[in-house]
């Protein structure tokens, strides 16, 4: 496969700018919410519950988000979703200021944030193929994921942890302010009309909602990729949801410096995202996804064997690089191979599988860490991602039309 080297164009960069602020807000929350949870409870299950509630929102709203992405202007959906998140943060800020916040309240806020993110992310992924040519998908997705990692795992967590050191309410207030900026930037994007499968009102709602499910189940390539992604997300969420506790108890990293550990991992994630275009130009989808799967989980096993925070940070970098490579390659393949009028719904179904698996992994990881040992979720990640890699190498079929994504030899 060859990748395009021309400019991505002004519409893409305006989209990129709007997502930069949203990703920064997500990173602030990623760094602050586990710390807020740990300040409210010392239960591993209670801390893991926050991540599980945010991911579980996909199970409730995923199909509706996909249909909305295909039926409405994606830019408008992005703006509304971020506005809802601002309102949820304002409510949480008030409760924290009144010293009335509890784990159930924080979990509820995480669920609302996750629900809004369901609509935002689905529409964003559906919008990108309308802004850049197909041949530039890896390049555009690499830029977006690189920025997402910098915001979500580097600058944002560092800022969130530092603001947490000032007061519980400060990271929540800053998070809301950054999201307001993202909303204003989204409103500057060019309007991109939806590609409906049929005129509104001519098909039953249930039939419309299930079109994405049926297409994904009948497409062997995307079905295998989604199944492997679900296994990876289960393994990743299991150990990631208790990482804040492991870093404190085993690595000796204070809660206020947890963001620095995440930032170390983000360096690798950024390199993985930005390097994915070059790798996609030389290797096929199948070996790239298998290598990415192994890279996400095998470092977790080694993290559980070390008490050195520097070594743990380097291993987090490798894990994040694998996850970024997976995201870029898998998403580009889905955008390229899915009918445009179904992309929103297929994306939603795919992400329901991943987030549902991630929710189960977070709950399982929290329960096992609390009842067996804190390191068990880390050790379990190795065999799980190996299973996903083997499944990809042995069952992922070639693309029927022999289209892009296959490497120089023309086969995966």
User: What Rg, from alpha-carbon coordinates, does the chain have?
Assistant: 20
Q: Which domains does the chain have, with CATH numbers?
A: 10-193+208-395 (1.20.1250.20)
The residue with greater pLDDT, 250 or 198, is 250
**pTM of the complete model:** 0.71
For the residues 47-69, what does the mean pLDDT come to?
A: 79
Give the largest CA-CA distance in the chain. Answer: 63
**Contact in structure between 318 and 267 (CB atoms under 8 Å):** no
Residue whose C-alpha is closest to residue 286's, from 220, 202, 374, 209: 220
* pLDDT over threshold 70, residue 194: no
Contact 346, 216 (CB under 8 A): yes
Tokens of 325: 């490579």
**What phi, psi does 6 have (nearest 5°)?**
-75, 170
Give the tokens for residue 100: 């009335």
Please report, for residues 34, 126, 156, 179, 259, the alpha-carbon distance to residue 113 in angstroms, rounded to integers and kept in the order given.
14, 20, 16, 12, 20
- From residue 343, give the alpha-carbon distance in Å to each of 20, 143, 147, 196, 224: 23, 20, 23, 10, 17
Burial class, 353, CB count within 10 angstroms (exposed 0-12 / middle 13-18 / buried 19+): buried
pLDDT of 242 above 50: yes
Q: Is 201 left (phi over 0), alpha (psi -120 to 50) or beta?
A: left
User: pLDDT value at position 167?
Assistant: 85
- Tokens matching residue 210: 């299930």
What distance in Å separates the CA atoms of residue 226 and residue 220, rounded to the nearest whole number?
Answer: 10
**b/e per residue 67-90 (b: at least 16 CB within 10 A):** bbbbbbbbbbbbbbbbbbbbebbe
* Tens digit of each residue's pLDDT (9 = 90 or more) over 131-183: 777 777 888 888 887 787 778 767 887 788 788 888 888 999 999 999 998 88
Q: Please provide the average confidence, as pLDDT, over all residues in the chain.
A: 82
pLDDT per position as a tens digit, 73-131: 777 888 899 899 999 999 999 998 888 888 889 989 989 998 898 888 888 877 787 77
């Amino acid at each position: 496969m060859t990748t395009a080297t021309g400019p991505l164009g002004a519409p893409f960069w305006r989209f990129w700018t709007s997502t930069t602020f949203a990703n920064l807000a997500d990173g602030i929350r990623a760094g602050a919410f586990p710390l807020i949870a740990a300040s409210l409870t010392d239960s591993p299950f209670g801390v893991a519950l926050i991540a599980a509630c945010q991911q579980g929102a996909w199970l409730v709203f995923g199909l509706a988000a996909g249909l909305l992405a295909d039926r409405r202007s994606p830019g408008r959906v992005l703006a509304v979703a971020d506005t809802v998140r601002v309102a949820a943060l304002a409510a949480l800020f008030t409760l924290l200021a009144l010293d009335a916040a509890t784990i159930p309240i924080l979990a509820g806020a995480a669920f609302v944030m996750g629900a809004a993110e369901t609509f935002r992310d689905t529409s964003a992924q559906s919008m990108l193929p309308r802004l850049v040519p197909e041949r530039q998908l890896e390049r555009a997705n690499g830029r977006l994921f690189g920025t997402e990692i910098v915001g979500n795992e580097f600058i944002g967590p560092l800022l969130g942890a530092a603001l947490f050191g000032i007061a519980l309410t400060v990271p929540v207030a800053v998070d809301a302010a950054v999201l307001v900026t993202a909303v204003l930037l989204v409103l500057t994007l060019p309007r991109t009309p939806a590609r409906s499968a049929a005129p509104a009102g001519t098909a039953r709602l249930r039939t419309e909602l299930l079109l994405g499910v049926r297409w994904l189940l009948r497409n062997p390539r995307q079905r295998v990729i989604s199944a492997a992604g679900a296994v990876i997300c289960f393994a990743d969420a299991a150990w990631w949801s208790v990482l804040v506790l492991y870093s404190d108890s085993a690595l000796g990293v204070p809660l206020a410096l947890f963001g620095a550990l995440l930032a170390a991992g983000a360096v690798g994630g950024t390199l993985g995202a930005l390097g994915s275009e070059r790798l996609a130009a030389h290797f096929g989808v199948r070996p790239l996804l298998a290598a990415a799967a192994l890279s996400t989980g095998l470092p977790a096993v080694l993290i559980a064997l070390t008490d050195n925070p520097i070594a743990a940070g380097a291993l987090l970098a490798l894990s994040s690089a694998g996850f970024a490579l997976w995201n870029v390659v898998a998403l580009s393949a889905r955008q390229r191979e899915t009918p445009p009028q179904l992309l929103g719904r297929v994306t939603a179904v795919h992400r329901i599988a991943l987030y549902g698996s991630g929710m189960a992994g977070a709950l399982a990881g929290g329960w096992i860490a609390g009842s067996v040992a804190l390191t068990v979720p880390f050790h379990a990640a190795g065999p799980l991602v190996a299973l996903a890699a083997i499944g990809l190498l042995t069952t992922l079929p070639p693309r029927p039309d022999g289209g892009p994504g296959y490497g120089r030899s023309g086969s995966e």
